[in-house]
């Protein structure tokens, strides 16, 4: 178990492109475990990508298992790719690497993601709604893209809650 430090906006590493894995080896599994431990330690996070903890490799964890309406996950994904997308939705997003900020971002309503799971098995996830948003947000991190690049308007989190 390892909780890693989450990099914050301004850190150049968050802007770099992450490298794919050749296979799901021990190192890949370790990264996925660390991502999960780090995500769980944040209490309110629903997804985390490897570059956010300083590792420029294509690995993400998404966990909507705590959602009341439609619990899904956790998903442990290596080399995730959006192979199909359709529709549009606007979602108010935040990011563990951009504390205190929220923004409205237009994302696909539905995405199909292909990846390797933590056992190296090829998987395909058909996602819609919040899961589609989170997958799209986390996969963006692997290409150095942050939600603030796409947000039409930014809000302070405190303001939002009042």
Residues that bind Ni ion (CB under 5 A): 95
**Residue with smaller CB distance to Ni ion, 95 or 131:** 95
Contact 88, 107 (CB under 8 A): yes
**Residue with smaller CB distance to Ni ion, 25 or 156:** 156
- Closest distance of CB 140 from Ni ion, Å: 8
Catalytic residue among 67, 88, 93, 138: 138
- Closest distance of CB 97 from Ni ion, Å: 5
- Closest distance of CB 95 from Ni ion, Å: 3
Cα distance between residue 127 and residue 77, in whole Å: 14
**Residue with smaller CB distance to Ni ion, 28 or 93:** 93
- Closest distance of CB 14 from Ni ion, Å: 9
Is 69 part of the annotated catalytic residue set?
no
**Residue with smaller CB distance to Ni ion, 61 or 95:** 95
Cα distance between residue 9 and residue 98, in whole Å: 6
CB-based contacts of 21, cutoff 8 Å, min separation 6:
28, 57, 58, 59, 78, 79, 116
Phi, psi of 53 (to 5 degrees): -110, 20
Q: Taking Cα atoms as reference points, which of 67, 55, 61, 68 lies closest to residue 5?
A: 55
Q: Taking Cα atoms as reference points, which of 148, 141, 150 lies closest to residue 13?
A: 141
List, by residue number, the catalytic residues.
138
């Amino acid at each position: 178990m390892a909780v890693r430090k989450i990099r914050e906006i301004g850190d150049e590493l968050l802007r770099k492109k992450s490298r794919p894995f050749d296979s799901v080896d021990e190192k890949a599994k370790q990264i996925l475990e660390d991502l999960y431990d780090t995500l769980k330690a944040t209490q309110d996070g629903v997804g985390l990508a490897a570059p956010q903890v300083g590792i420029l490799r294509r690995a993400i964890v998404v966990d909507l298992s705590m959602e009341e309406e439609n619990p899904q996950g956790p998903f442990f994904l290596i080399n995730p790719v959006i192979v199909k997308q359709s529709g549009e939705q606007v979602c108010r997003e935040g990011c563990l690497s951009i504390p205190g900020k929220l923004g409205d971002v237009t994302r696909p309503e539905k995405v199909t993601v292909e990846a390797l799971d933590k056992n190296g098995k090829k998987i395909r996830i058909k996602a819609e709604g919040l899961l589609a948003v989170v997958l799209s947000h986390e996969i963006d991190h692997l290409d150095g893209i942050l939600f603030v690049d796409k947000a039409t308007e930014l809000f302070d989190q405190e303001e939002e809650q009042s």
